[in-house]
Amino acid sequence: MLNKKSFKLPVVSAFVLVELTLGILVHLTSGRANSWVSFSCVLLACLFVSLFFEKSKAYFLTQLGLACTVCADIFLVVMDPIKQLPAMVFFSVTQMCYFVRIYLNHTTQKQKKVHLIARSLVTLLAIAATVAVLGGNTDALSLVSLFYYANLAVNIVVAFTQFKSCPALAVGLLLFLCCDTVIGLNVMADSYISGVGESFIMQLIDVDFNLAWVFYVPSQMLIALSLLKYGKQPNKEATA
Protein backbone atom coordinates (compact mmCIF):
# COMPACT_ATOMS: atom_id res chain seq x y z
CA MET A 1 0.00 0.00 0.00
CA LEU A 2 2.74 2.45 0.97
CA ASN A 3 4.82 2.12 -2.14
CA LYS A 4 5.64 5.80 -2.69
CA LYS A 5 9.21 6.71 -1.81
CA SER A 6 8.06 9.71 0.21
CA PHE A 7 6.17 7.39 2.56
CA LYS A 8 8.75 4.63 2.78
CA LEU A 9 11.51 6.44 4.67
CA PRO A 10 9.42 7.64 7.65
CA VAL A 11 7.54 4.33 7.88
CA VAL A 12 10.72 2.26 7.70
CA SER A 13 12.44 4.54 10.23
CA ALA A 14 9.52 4.23 12.64
CA PHE A 15 9.47 0.45 12.18
CA VAL A 16 13.18 0.10 12.96
CA LEU A 17 12.91 2.42 15.97
CA VAL A 18 9.95 0.54 17.44
CA GLU A 19 11.60 -2.85 16.83
CA LEU A 20 14.80 -1.72 18.55
CA THR A 21 12.80 -0.31 21.47
CA LEU A 22 10.86 -3.56 21.85
CA GLY A 23 14.12 -5.48 21.54
CA ILE A 24 15.51 -3.58 24.51
CA LEU A 25 12.30 -4.07 26.52
CA VAL A 26 12.61 -7.84 26.00
CA HIS A 27 15.59 -7.73 28.37
CA LEU A 28 14.00 -5.34 30.87
CA THR A 29 10.66 -7.10 31.44
CA SER A 30 9.63 -10.42 32.94
CA GLY A 31 6.63 -12.71 33.23
CA ARG A 32 3.64 -12.21 30.96
CA ALA A 33 4.73 -8.68 30.13
CA ASN A 34 7.93 -10.10 28.67
CA SER A 35 5.97 -12.66 26.67
CA TRP A 36 3.79 -10.01 25.05
CA VAL A 37 6.68 -7.64 24.38
CA SER A 38 8.64 -10.46 22.78
CA PHE A 39 5.68 -11.57 20.68
CA SER A 40 5.05 -7.99 19.60
CA CYS A 41 8.51 -7.88 17.97
CA VAL A 42 7.58 -10.75 15.67
CA LEU A 43 4.02 -9.61 15.02
CA LEU A 44 5.20 -6.11 14.11
CA ALA A 45 7.58 -7.46 11.45
CA CYS A 46 4.73 -9.42 9.88
CA LEU A 47 2.36 -6.44 9.93
CA PHE A 48 5.04 -4.12 8.55
CA VAL A 49 5.42 -6.24 5.42
CA SER A 50 1.67 -5.98 4.77
CA LEU A 51 2.06 -2.21 4.35
CA PHE A 52 4.11 -2.77 1.21
CA PHE A 53 1.82 -5.23 -0.52
CA GLU A 54 2.70 -6.12 -4.09
CA LYS A 55 1.72 -8.87 -6.48
CA SER A 56 4.95 -10.85 -6.47
CA LYS A 57 6.02 -14.32 -5.42
CA ALA A 58 8.77 -12.82 -3.26
CA TYR A 59 6.23 -10.75 -1.33
CA PHE A 60 3.79 -13.62 -0.88
CA LEU A 61 6.48 -16.06 0.27
CA THR A 62 8.02 -13.61 2.71
CA GLN A 63 4.65 -12.59 4.12
CA LEU A 64 3.68 -16.24 4.53
CA GLY A 65 7.04 -17.02 6.15
CA LEU A 66 6.62 -14.22 8.67
CA ALA A 67 3.00 -15.25 9.34
CA CYS A 68 4.15 -18.81 10.09
CA THR A 69 6.82 -17.37 12.40
CA VAL A 70 4.07 -15.51 14.25
CA CYS A 71 2.11 -18.77 14.56
CA ALA A 72 5.19 -20.58 15.85
CA ASP A 73 5.76 -17.94 18.51
CA ILE A 74 2.17 -18.20 19.67
CA PHE A 75 3.10 -21.74 20.77
CA LEU A 76 6.54 -20.80 22.11
CA VAL A 77 6.08 -17.32 23.56
CA VAL A 78 2.40 -16.67 24.24
CA MET A 79 1.18 -20.07 25.39
CA ASP A 80 1.92 -21.35 28.87
CA PRO A 81 3.01 -24.10 28.90
CA ILE A 82 4.75 -23.87 25.55
CA LYS A 83 4.14 -26.40 22.78
CA GLN A 84 7.40 -27.04 20.96
CA LEU A 85 6.38 -29.53 18.27
CA PRO A 86 3.68 -27.44 16.52
CA ALA A 87 5.99 -24.43 16.81
CA MET A 88 8.78 -26.27 15.01
CA VAL A 89 6.37 -27.40 12.31
CA PHE A 90 5.44 -23.76 11.66
CA PHE A 91 9.10 -22.75 11.70
CA SER A 92 9.81 -25.47 9.14
CA VAL A 93 7.11 -24.05 6.86
CA THR A 94 8.74 -20.64 7.33
CA GLN A 95 12.05 -21.96 6.03
CA MET A 96 10.33 -23.67 3.11
CA CYS A 97 8.87 -20.28 2.15
CA TYR A 98 12.30 -18.66 2.23
CA PHE A 99 13.74 -21.63 0.34
CA VAL A 100 11.30 -21.08 -2.53
CA ARG A 101 11.98 -17.34 -2.56
CA ILE A 102 15.74 -17.94 -2.77
CA TYR A 103 15.29 -20.75 -5.30
CA LEU A 104 13.27 -18.52 -7.64
CA ASN A 105 16.06 -15.98 -7.57
CA HIS A 106 18.50 -18.36 -9.29
CA THR A 107 19.31 -17.27 -12.80
CA THR A 108 20.21 -20.66 -14.34
CA GLN A 109 18.78 -24.17 -14.31
CA LYS A 110 22.18 -25.49 -13.18
CA GLN A 111 22.04 -23.34 -10.04
CA LYS A 112 18.55 -24.64 -9.29
CA LYS A 113 19.60 -28.26 -9.78
CA VAL A 114 22.67 -27.93 -7.54
CA HIS A 115 20.57 -26.19 -4.93
CA LEU A 116 17.95 -28.95 -4.82
CA ILE A 117 20.55 -31.73 -4.65
CA ALA A 118 22.52 -30.01 -1.90
CA ARG A 119 19.39 -29.29 0.14
CA SER A 120 18.16 -32.87 -0.13
CA LEU A 121 21.53 -34.29 0.93
CA VAL A 122 21.95 -31.92 3.87
CA THR A 123 18.42 -32.60 5.10
CA LEU A 124 18.83 -36.38 4.88
CA LEU A 125 22.22 -36.25 6.61
CA ALA A 126 20.83 -34.09 9.40
CA ILE A 127 17.97 -36.49 10.06
CA ALA A 128 20.27 -39.52 9.89
CA ALA A 129 22.72 -37.86 12.28
CA THR A 130 19.89 -37.10 14.69
CA VAL A 131 18.89 -40.76 14.84
CA ALA A 132 22.50 -41.91 15.13
CA VAL A 133 23.37 -39.52 17.97
CA LEU A 134 20.15 -39.63 19.99
CA GLY A 135 19.32 -43.29 19.43
CA GLY A 136 16.42 -44.22 21.66
CA ASN A 137 15.90 -40.58 22.61
CA THR A 138 14.93 -39.69 19.06
CA ASP A 139 11.44 -38.20 18.90
CA ALA A 140 9.26 -36.15 16.59
CA LEU A 141 10.51 -32.88 18.07
CA SER A 142 14.18 -33.69 17.44
CA LEU A 143 13.49 -34.84 13.86
CA VAL A 144 11.37 -31.82 12.93
CA SER A 145 13.87 -29.50 14.62
CA LEU A 146 16.83 -30.90 12.68
CA PHE A 147 14.82 -30.78 9.44
CA TYR A 148 14.15 -27.11 10.16
CA TYR A 149 17.71 -26.37 11.20
CA ALA A 150 19.21 -28.08 8.14
CA ASN A 151 16.98 -26.14 5.76
CA LEU A 152 17.71 -22.87 7.55
CA ALA A 153 21.44 -23.56 7.19
CA VAL A 154 21.08 -24.24 3.46
CA ASN A 155 18.96 -21.11 3.06
CA ILE A 156 21.75 -19.06 4.63
CA VAL A 157 24.46 -20.49 2.40
CA VAL A 158 22.44 -19.93 -0.78
CA ALA A 159 21.23 -16.49 0.35
CA PHE A 160 24.84 -15.38 0.80
CA THR A 161 25.61 -16.45 -2.76
CA GLN A 162 22.91 -13.92 -3.69
CA PHE A 163 24.14 -11.36 -1.17
CA LYS A 164 24.56 -8.50 -3.65
CA SER A 165 20.93 -8.68 -4.71
CA CYS A 166 19.44 -9.01 -1.22
CA PRO A 167 21.87 -8.60 1.71
CA ALA A 168 19.13 -8.04 4.31
CA LEU A 169 17.67 -11.51 3.74
CA ALA A 170 21.07 -13.22 4.03
CA VAL A 171 22.01 -11.44 7.26
CA GLY A 172 18.50 -11.87 8.67
CA LEU A 173 18.63 -15.62 8.11
CA LEU A 174 22.09 -15.81 9.68
CA LEU A 175 20.83 -14.06 12.80
CA PHE A 176 17.84 -16.44 12.76
CA LEU A 177 20.33 -19.33 12.88
CA CYS A 178 22.25 -17.75 15.76
CA CYS A 179 19.02 -17.43 17.73
CA ASP A 180 18.00 -21.02 17.06
CA THR A 181 21.47 -22.30 17.90
CA VAL A 182 21.17 -20.77 21.36
CA ILE A 183 17.67 -22.23 21.81
CA GLY A 184 18.79 -25.61 20.46
CA LEU A 185 21.67 -25.76 22.92
CA ASN A 186 19.23 -25.03 25.75
CA VAL A 187 16.92 -27.84 24.60
CA MET A 188 19.82 -30.27 24.26
CA ALA A 189 21.07 -29.44 27.76
CA ASP A 190 17.58 -29.88 29.22
CA SER A 191 16.36 -32.94 27.33
CA TYR A 192 19.03 -34.89 25.50
CA ILE A 193 22.52 -34.41 26.95
CA SER A 194 23.68 -34.74 30.53
CA GLY A 195 26.92 -34.60 32.50
CA VAL A 196 29.97 -33.07 30.85
CA GLY A 197 28.10 -32.20 27.65
CA GLU A 198 25.44 -30.29 29.55
CA SER A 199 28.05 -28.42 31.60
CA PHE A 200 29.95 -27.37 28.45
CA ILE A 201 26.77 -26.17 26.73
CA MET A 202 25.65 -24.18 29.76
CA GLN A 203 28.98 -22.38 29.87
CA LEU A 204 28.30 -21.19 26.31
CA ILE A 205 24.76 -19.96 26.87
CA ASP A 206 24.60 -19.03 30.58
CA VAL A 207 24.49 -15.22 30.36
CA ASP A 208 22.56 -12.58 32.28
CA PHE A 209 20.33 -11.59 29.36
CA ASN A 210 18.15 -13.33 26.78
CA LEU A 211 20.85 -14.15 24.24
CA ALA A 212 18.45 -15.78 21.76
CA TRP A 213 16.39 -12.60 21.41
CA VAL A 214 19.49 -10.49 20.86
CA PHE A 215 19.66 -12.30 17.51
CA TYR A 216 15.96 -12.93 16.94
CA VAL A 217 14.59 -9.38 16.94
CA PRO A 218 17.01 -8.02 14.28
CA SER A 219 16.59 -11.21 12.24
CA GLN A 220 12.85 -10.66 11.83
CA MET A 221 13.35 -6.96 11.24
CA LEU A 222 15.87 -7.58 8.44
CA ILE A 223 13.77 -10.29 6.80
CA ALA A 224 10.84 -7.87 6.70
CA LEU A 225 13.05 -5.10 5.30
CA SER A 226 14.51 -7.45 2.68
CA LEU A 227 11.46 -6.93 0.48
CA LEU A 228 11.86 -3.19 0.08
CA LYS A 229 14.62 -3.38 -2.51
CA TYR A 230 13.46 -6.59 -4.12
CA GLY A 231 12.45 -4.79 -7.28
CA LYS A 232 16.14 -4.57 -8.18
CA GLN A 233 16.49 -8.34 -8.40
CA PRO A 234 17.67 -9.50 -11.84
CA ASN A 235 15.40 -12.54 -12.06
CA LYS A 236 11.98 -11.78 -13.47
CA GLU A 237 10.75 -15.24 -12.49
CA ALA A 238 10.42 -14.04 -8.90
CA THR A 239 7.58 -11.71 -9.80
CA ALA A 240 4.11 -12.77 -10.72
pLDDT band of 10, cuts 50, 70, 90? confident
List, in sequence order, every residue forming a beta bridge with 56; answer none if it has no partner: 239
Question: pLDDT > 70: what percent of the chain?
Answer: 83
Tell me the whole-structure pTM to 2 decimals. 0.86
CB neighbours of 72 closer than 8 A, spacing ≥ 6? 86, 87, 88, 90, 91, 94
CB neighbours of 104 closer than 8 A, spacing ≥ 6? 57, 58, 235, 237, 238
Q: What is the dihedral of CA 212, 217, 223, 228, to 10 degrees?
A: -160
* pLDDT tens figures, 82-137: 999 999 999 999 999 999 999 999 999 999 999 999 999 999 999 999 899 888 88
Is the distance from CB of 86 to CB of 92 less than 8 angstroms? no
- pLDDT at residue 234 tops 60: no
User: How far is Cα 57 from Cα 231, in angstroms, rounded to an integer?
Assistant: 12
